[in-house]
Amino acid sequence: EQAKKGGFDHFMLKEIFEQPQVLSDTIHPRIIDGFPSFTQDGINDNFWLHFNRISIVACGTALHAGMVGKAIIEKLSHIPVECDIASEFRYRNPIMTKNTLVIVISQSGETLDTLAAVRLAKLRGLPTLAIVNVPGSSISREADYTIYTYAGPEISVASTKAYSVQLSIMYLVAMKLAMTTGTRSFEEIRTLSKGLLEAAEASQQVLKLKEEAKFCAQQFAKIKDLFFFGRGLDYSLSLEGSLKMKEISYIHCEAYAAGEMKHGTIALIAPDVPVVAVCTQEFLLSKMIGNIKEVQSRGANVLLITKEGMEIDPELYNHRIDLPALDDIFMPLVGVIVLQLLAYYSAVIRDLDVDKPRNLAKSVTVE
Ligand code: G6P
């Protein structure tokens, strides 16, 4: 087993470090002459013309990739997108009009609730597109179309590299839809494709923040509760950061949309309850600064995750981590890596079983 870890202490760390490579593997074959293309997945350009609504369904980390997907598809293509928890979707009698594309996301391709979503959509006569990592898995067999992510086997129960490649497919789908619907010019799509490739490369730089993440985890060595907050894409990212942290460190964490904290949750803020403020979206900066002030004035220690060049008064945080400055839209791709590292070191410091956290399974094939 030690050999399989390739010199890393845990599979999770190895998988975090594989992200630049698997991103490149997943994205490169789907950018042809500067434009997104899924012909290698058996999906031709006409396919994307038919939809005026999209429904994304998934569980856990894949759901969080879907939430980012919803935001970027709507932003780029103006097609309305819903994003559902699979176990809710199947019992809420969802309204599924014709011309809706149902996209399911699953690393294992075996999650029962997600599989049930595929079956329900098919029963209603809607086309299903699966974004799956494991070849030949149940979901990929039952869905009408599958786009495989090329993360390779993910051993650690806490999902890391699978999330990143799921995100990368979400970007490509959003660009493809924007191209088809004509909401973005070809020139803009070309720039976005380039931006995605650059974001994948920038993930290499984020791995260098390992020691900084470790230092911050050490500052959190004694805490029992932790909040993550952000706005827009940073909120979706906060949900994933918080999930990762609770899964393996057992710290009680919650993620909030920063503007919503004041409607109740702020009552829980105290000097021993730090806040990880995810603040990478330039257009939301002034709003986030207001929210950081709200928690800081209640005594919270603030760990700020932002990007190079964002002007934020050093009085407002205890520690600042700078991500590479990419376009706002691509920040989740680099931001998640730091959050994964923070969770990883928080578990290591607590001497916990990082790769096999208690009560969790890699693949949930029961309800
Ligand atoms: C389990 C795993 C999570 C994963 C979720 C969905 O809870 O522990 O890491 O995100 O299932 O799994 P899937 O294979 O469908 O992506």
Distance 143 CA to ligand 1 centre (A): 18
pLDDT tens column, 273-290? 999 999 999 999 999 999
Q: How far apart are CA 161 and CA 239, in angstroms?
A: 16
> Among 107, 115, 165, 243, which is best to mutate for testing ligand 1, by the most ligand atoms less than 8 A from CB?
107
Q: What confidence score (pLDDT) does residue 3 get?
A: 78
| pLDDT for the residue 367 | 86
Q: Mean pLDDT over residues 222-236, rounded?
A: 97
**Ligand 1 in contact with 241 (CB < 6 A)?**
no
Q: Does residue 346's CB lie within 6 angstroms of at least one atom of ligand 1? A: no
Backbone angles phi, psi at 45, to 5 degrees: -65, -30
Bridge partners of residue 130, in order along the sequence: 104, 146
pLDDT in tens, 148-207: 999 999 999 999 999 999 999 999 999 999 999 999 999 999 999 999 999 999 999 999
CA distance to 230, 232, 276, 278, per residue, from 257 (Å): 5, 8, 12, 10
Nearest Cα residue to atom 5 of ligand 1: 60
What is the percent of the chain where pLDDT is above 70? 100
Q: What is the largest CA-CA distance in the chain?
A: 56
pLDDT at position 123: 96
Q: Which residues are catalytic, by number?
A: 362
Residue 1 has pLDDT above 90, yes or no: no
Q: What ipTM, to 2 d.p.?
A: 0.97
Q: What is the mean pLDDT of the chain?
A: 96
Computed from CA positions of residues 18, 19, 22, 28, in that sequence, does the dihedral angle turn out positive or negative?
negative
Average the pLDDT over 229-249 and give the result: 98
Query: How far away, in angstroms, is 105 Cα from ligand 1 center?
Result: 10
Query: Distance between CA atoms of 233 and 327, rounded to whole angstroms?
Result: 12
Mean pLDDT of 223-248: 98
Q: Quick one: pLDDT at residue 328?
A: 98
The answer on pLDDT for 260 being more than 90 is yes
Q: For residue 279, report the distance from its CA to the centre of ligand 1, in Å.
A: 26
> For 2-12, what is each residue's pLDDT tens digit?
778 989 999 99
Length of the chain: 367
Residue 252 has pLDDT above 90, yes or no: yes
Rounded to two decimals, what is the model's pTM? 0.97
Closest atom, ligand 1, to C-alpha of 162: 16
Quote the ligand 1 centre to 9 CA distance (angstroms). 22
Give the number of the atom of ligand 1 that is nearest the alpha carbon of residue 247. Answer: 8
- Where on the phi/psi map is residue 255: left (φ > 0), alpha (ψ -120 to 50), or beta? beta
Share of the chain above pLDDT 90, in %: 95
| 157 Cα to the center of ligand 1, angstroms | 8
The position carrying tokens 């909030």 is 256
Region at 113 (left for phi over 0; alpha for psi -120 to 50; beta for the rest): alpha
pLDDT digits (tens, 9 = 90+) for 35-58: 999 999 999 999 999 999 999 999
Q: What is the mean pLDDT of residues 245-258?
A: 97
Q: Is 363 in the pocket of ligand 1 (CB under 6 A)?
A: yes
Q: Are the beta carbons of 272 and 289 closer than 8 angstroms?
A: no
**Strand partners of residue 275:** 227, 302
Q: Is the CB of 32 under 6 A from ligand 1?
A: no
* Ligand 1 atom closest to 139 (CA): 15
The alpha carbon of 119 and the centre of ligand 1 are apart by a number of angstroms equal to: 19
C-beta of 61 in contact with ligand 1 (< 6 A): yes
Ligand 1 contacts CB of residue 155 (under 6 A): no
Residue 102 beta carbon below 6 angstroms from any ligand 1 atom: no
3-state secondary structure 153-207: CCCCCCCCHHHHHHHHHHHHHHHHHHHHHCCCCHHHHHHHHHHHHHHHHHHHHHH
Q: Decide whether any atom of ligand 1 lies within 6 Å of the 66 Cβ.
A: no
The 3-class secondary structure across the chain, one letter per residue, is CCCCCCCCCCHHHHHHHCHHHHHHHHHHHHEECCEECCHHHCCCHHHHHHCCEEEEEECHHHHHHHHHHHHHHHHHHCCCEEEEEHHHHCCCCCCCCCCEEEEEEECCCCCHHHHHHHHHHHHCCCCEEEEECCCCCHHHHHCCEEEECCCCCCCCCCCCHHHHHHHHHHHHHHHHHHHHHCCCCHHHHHHHHHHHHHHHHHHHHHHCCHHHHHHHHHHCCCCCEEEEEECCHHHHHHHHHHHHHHHHHCCEEEEEEHHHHHHCHHHHCCCCCCEEEEECCHHHHHHHHHHHHHHHCCCCCEEEEEECCCCCCHHHCCEEEEECCCCHHHHHHHHHHHHHHHHHHHHHHCCCCCCCCCCCCCCCCCC
Structure confidence at residue 2 (pLDDT): 78
